Every structure is written in C-alpha cells, then in structure tokens.
Amino acid sequence: MIETGRPEALLPLALFMALMLGVSFFVRWQARTGEGGFLRQYFVGNRDLGGFVLAMTTVATYSSVSSFVGGPGMAWSVGFGWIYMAVVQVTAVFLVLGIFGKRVALLARKFGAVTVVDILRRRFRSDALAATAAFIIVLFFCATMTAQFVGGAKLFAAVTGYSYELGLLLFGLAVVVYTTIGGFRAVAITDALCAIMMMIGIVLLFFYVLEAGGGYGAIMDHIAANEPKMLEPFSGGNMPAGLYLTQWILVGICTIALPQSVVRGISYRDTKGLHRAMIIGTVVVGFMNIGVNFTGILAHGVLTGPVASYGGVDNIIPSTIAAVMPPSLIGLAIVGPIAASISTISSLLLVGSSAIVKDVYLHYRGKQGKTTSDAALRRLSMAVTAILGAAVFLIALTPPSLIWLINMFAFGGLETAFFWTLLLGLFWRRANRLGAFLSMGGGTVVYCLTQGLGFKIMGLHQITIGISLSLVLFLIGSFLGEPEPKEVLREFFPE
Amino acid sequence: MTEKEKYRQVCREAAATGIALLVLIVFWLFAGFGLAGSAATIFRLPLWAAASTVGVWIFAIVLVWVLTKFVFRDMDLEEERHD
C-alpha cells in the first residue's frame, strides 16, 4: 500500500464525478420542454437512445465493481479457467436485446409502458403480481447497490490511503445526486462515459502490469514454471465443472431476465440502433471481461507470494494497482472500478424508484380515480430516487459482513423471479396468472430459503434450484389455471 | 409490416437468438474442454486458453453480426395507424 492521503490520487475521481454531475444538469436543462410527459422522460429517456449509448449503458449496468476486483482476483488465483468461465458473459448483451429488445419496445409503445412491471401487469392482469415484482426489484436492488457502494469504497480506501467514508462520500453522494436530477438519459450517458473509463482503466493497468512484470514472455514463463495448474481448464480442481455450469446459468443465460437490462429495451429509438447495440455491446463486454481477468493473471509477474500474504483474492487488484501504477496515475486507475460501481448503482436506483413511484404508488392512485400532475410527479419521482439512494448510502456506511456474497445472491434472486415470467409470459400464449404467480413467488422464496440454509444439490449454486423450481411451478400453474382471456391474448399475440 | 407480421418477425428473431446461444455453447465447449488436450501453443498460451477466451469472444461477435445481418429486420416500432 502507498502512504496515506495523496491529494493527486483524488483529483481524477473528483473531476470525473464533476463531469457526471455536469452531464446530469445538462440533460435536465435540455429536457425542460417536457416532451412525451415526465414519466417517460425520467424513467426511459423518452425512448430516444441510439445504438452506441444503448450498448454502453447495457454493458456498464451489467458490469459491476466485482467484475473489476473480485473477478480478476480469482483469475489471479485460478488461472485461465477463470477467463474461460468469465467469457460466457459475452452473451449478456446480445441475448437480452435479441430476445426481449423488440418485444418490449413494441409492447411498451402500444401500452404506454415505462417499466417491465407495467408490461407484466398488463399481461397477467394482476396487481398482486405487479406489487410482488416491484417488491422483489426494490429488495434485491437495494442489496446489490449496497454491495456496489461497499466494493467501490473499499477499493478507494485500499488504493488511495484515504478513508472508506471519504470515498463513499465522494462518489456515493454524486451518483445519488446525478441520478436523481438527470433521470434515465443522464444515467445512460454517464453509463457510456463510465464504460469508456472502465476500458481505459483496464488498458492502463494491463500495460503497467506487463511493464512491472518484466514483459509478457517473462510473466508467462514464470506462470508455466511455478503455477502450471493455471494453464489447465479445471485448474487442478480449483475450477470444478459445476462452477462452469452454474456460471453459464447465473451470469450468462438467465441475465436476460434482469429487469435493469430488460428495461433498456423500452429506451431505444429505432431498430437500427438495437442491431448496432447488439454488436457493439458484445465487442465491449468481451473486451472488458477478457482484458480485466487476463490482467489479473498477468499480475503474477508482480505479486509472487501466496494469496494469504495479500489478505485474500479481493485484495489482489488493489495491491496490483498500488504496486505497478506510477503515483501520478493511481488516481486515474481507480476511476475505472469506481465507474463500474456507479454505473450499476445509477441504473438500479432509477429502476427501483420507478417500481415504487410508477408500479405501486401511481397505480393505486389511478385506481382511486385520482390524477397526478406532471409537476407533482417530478417532485415525487425525484424524492423517491433521492430517498432510496440515501437509504442505501447509509447502509453502506456501516456495511453488513459478507457483502460480496450479496451481489450474486441478488442476481440469482432476480433471475429466479423474472426469467420464466418474462420469457414464457411474452412468448407463450398458454402462460397465465397462476403460473406466473407461483413461479415468481414460490421460486424466489425457495431460492432465498436454500441460500439462507446453505442447502445445495450436488454442490451447485442455488440458482439451479431456483430456476428449475420456478419453471416447474410456472408449468403447473399454467396447466391447472384458466388461460388468460382472449382480449388480453389478442393484445400480446396478434392473430 | 402489420402488427401480426412484426410479431412473427420478433418471434423469429428471438428463436434465432436462442439458436445462436446454442451454437455458441457448442463452440465454447469445443474451444475449451475440447482443445484442452492439445499441446499446441499460441502466443505462449495453451491452444485451449486462447481459443476459449479470445476465440469465443470473436466467434460471438461474428455470430451476432450474422444474426443482425441475415435474420433481424428493421421495423417501425410505432403502431401502424392504417391497419
């Protein structure tokens, strides 16, 4: 670690956060005409994203701080098997956009929907289902956001020598403020800038790791001589086959159902942009995953001790940054991981806020026959976003232990709840309310219970239980219950 | 396109995306586990380590390009007023 408190290490991050705030105020100023109504403006950016920004915001939302810290730390300890596993994430953009991108875009325009829950409510004619979905979103999003705050602030403290709290204050407050003020369009544009900073950060670290390790050839010779297991797919047992399987499910296939990804299908302007985004997104997500994990492996040229001497895998990347970067560039090197953290938080914060404002509050007001003015909507939406952000910020100040596990736990929970409900709901006529309800409710409850009790089948991550059970429950419900009425089906499946 | 034609096209694209996923999984299995026994190296990496990481990435990009070029169609997302 470097000595405490280098002011120059703060400067790049502070400038970057100022840029984020600037973008947000600019977007707010630009949107002052209020075209399309406030909700559409604030929660889906008036459905006006182009291909590049759509790709970048999808990647940046998906890639979290653990992709930058925990992941490459594991690559350092496991070897190439870890990259082989991580590369399944090249599916994370094209699958969700290819399967749901146009489907939700068309449905959202038809119904004037601005959230994924809007569409589910319409499909299954169920307020209880919509409320359950909104609750699951808020619950798991808060857990994920806390993990992102904690991860970013810990990295900040480890690398700059300043305190955890200062880091949290610096980027945590900024992300809550810029999301609250600028809404979706600010989130999308700042996400794109974050994705660019992540890539710069990876290239920078890659370059300095190579240099400090004496060049690519020397590092690879060192690994081949001292860590031959790292060159095997199973890494001498460190990388079991079951892990490959569950990672395909958890961070590959089932990510198509993450509400924060699916909502991006409501936000783009035209299909040309969608097609471009699928290609750009695949290029970028692959570059990041391979780049950052490969850098983790090459850090063997710099960190040659056993993993315990660095205090665990989560400290590998902070230690590497501190060891290889010139002091003047340390500040720049942490912007990438922090960008990964805030670009995830901003999107989750906004979708969480839309779940409370649009999916719950406004719906019940509408049912009571009350209307809400655009000015009141603006105040309410911003207040909810700010309060939700502040709540998570406060939790992160005194973080619960085992925070790193929470990220994957929440991923699995959201996937269990939404995978079949969205996939079957939007593509299968027979899917009905009972099936969706059993699948979302039952699957998620059992997933959480098995996680809580540490119960596994064949040693596999509980996502396998959650996703299988929610399918079975969905099918049982759909065949036992009545099909949805013809007029609903005609809206969703034109004949 | 009418609403019905759009719906059909969207289903076709979703199914093709699913097939692309299966093709990618097969390639991924072959490039990694399939080549793990090979003693060949490329840029000082075992062949499997290169093919299953950078190889899978490039294969996925080509696959998505083929999807968007040959299966996906441009369509107006707003509702057709006249049908």
- Picking from B7, B43, B64 by the largest number of A CB atoms within 10 A of its own CB, the best residue to mutate is B64
A24 close to A186: Cβ distance less than 8 angstroms: yes
Residue A43 has pLDDT above 80, yes or no: yes
- Contact yes or no for A84 and B52 at CB 8 A: yes
Range A461-486 average pLDDT = 95
pLDDT at A91 (0 to 100):
97
Q: Over the stretch B9-66, which tens digit does the pLDDT of each residue have? A: 999 999 999 999 999 999 999 999 999 999 899 999 999 999 999 999 999 999 999 9
Range A13-29 average pLDDT = 94
Question: Of all residues in chain A, what percent carry a pLDDT higher than 90?
Answer: 80
Which two structure tokens, joined as six digits, stand for A277? 């985004």
Does the CB of A294 have a partner CB in chain B at under 8 Å?
yes
Candidate from A111-120, A316-325, A396-405 with smallest mean pLDDT: A396-405
Q: Over the stretch A438-454, which tens digit does the pLDDT of each residue have? A: 999 999 999 999 998 88
The three-point CA angle A484-A485-A489 to 5° equals 75
- Picking from B12, B77, B83 by the largest number of A CB atoms within 10 A of its own CB, the best residue to mutate is B77
**What single DSSP character describes residue B79?**
P
Residue A37 has pLDDT above 60, yes or no: yes
Which two structure tokens, joined as six digits, stand for A334? 């942490």
pLDDT band, residue A4 (cuts 50/70/90): low
pLDDT band, residue A171 (cuts 50/70/90): very high
pLDDT at A248 (0 to 100):
95
Higher-pLDDT residue of B81, B52 = B52
A308 close to A141: Cβ distance less than 8 angstroms: no
Q: Over the stretch A173-204, which tens digit does the pLDDT of each residue have? A: 999 999 999 999 999 999 999 999 999 999 99
Residue B83 has pLDDT above 60, yes or no: no
Q: Over the stretch A408-431, which tens digit does the pLDDT of each residue have? A: 889 899 999 999 999 999 999 999
In chain A, residues with a C-beta closer than 8 Å to the C-beta of B51 are none
Range A93-100 average pLDDT = 98
Interface of A with B in 389-418 (CB under 8 A): none
- Cβ-based neighbour number of residue A360 at 10 Å: 18
Q: pTM of the predicted model, to two decimals?
A: 0.94
Interface of B with A in 23-42 (CB under 8 A): 24-25, 28, 32-33, 36
Whole-number Å distance between alpha carbons of A166 and A178: 18
pLDDT at A5 (0 to 100):
63
Which residue matches tokens 């299953």?
B52
Whole-number Å distance between alpha carbons of B48 and B35: 5
The single-letter code of the amino acid at A427 is F
Range A47-55 average pLDDT = 94
Residue A3 has pLDDT above 60, yes or no: no
Interface A:B, Cβ pairs < 8 A: 119
- Picking from B27, B68, B79 by the largest number of A CB atoms within 10 A of its own CB, the best residue to mutate is B68
β-strands B45-46, B41-42 pairing: antiparallel
In chain B, residues with a C-beta closer than 8 Å to the C-beta of A287 are 57
Whole-number Å distance between alpha carbons of A443 and A475: 12
pLDDT band, residue A403 (cuts 50/70/90): low
> Among all residues of chain B, which has the CA nearest to that of A94?
B64
Which two structure tokens, joined as six digits, stand for A434? 């009972």
Rounded to the nearest 5 percent, the helix, strand and coil shares of chain B are 70, 5, 25
**Alpha helix stretches (DSSP H) within B1-83:** 3-29, 47-50, 56-66
Whole-number Å distance between alpha carbons of A344 and A405: 17
Three-state DSSP at A412 gives helix
Give the ipTM: 0.95
Which two structure tokens, joined as six digits, stand for A401? 């232990």
Interface of B with A in 38-67 (CB under 8 A): 44-46, 48-49, 52-54, 56-57, 60-61, 64-65, 67
E strand or H helix that includes residue A24:
helix A7-30
According to CATH, the superfamily of the domain at A7-492 is Sodium/glucose cotransporter (1.20.1730.10)
> Which of B24, B53, B73 comes nearest A83 by C-beta?
B53
Alpha-carbon A338 to chain mean position: 13
pLDDT at A161 (0 to 100):
86
- Contact yes or no for A105 and B74 at CB 8 A: no
> Which of A84, A220, A232 comes nearest B53 by C-beta?
A84
Residue A402 has pLDDT above 70, yes or no: no
- Cβ-based neighbour number of residue A484 at 10 Å: 22
Whole-number Å distance between alpha carbons of A10 and B34: 47
> Which of B21, B68, B75 comes nearest A95 by C-beta?
B21
pLDDT at A404 (0 to 100):
61
Residue A36 has pLDDT above 80, yes or no: no
As beta bridge partners, residue B45 has B42
Q: Over the stretch A255-282, which tens digit does the pLDDT of each residue have? A: 999 999 999 999 999 999 999 999 999 9
pLDDT at A313 (0 to 100):
87
Average pLDDT for chain A: 92
pLDDT at A1 (0 to 100):
41
Interface of A with B in 76-105 (CB under 8 A): 80, 83-84, 87-88, 90-91, 94-95, 98-100, 102-103, 105
> Which of A102, A220, A283 comes nearest B44 by C-beta?
A220
Alpha-carbon A342 to chain mean position: 10
Give the residue extent of every domain in chain A.
7-492
pLDDT band, residue A401 (cuts 50/70/90): low
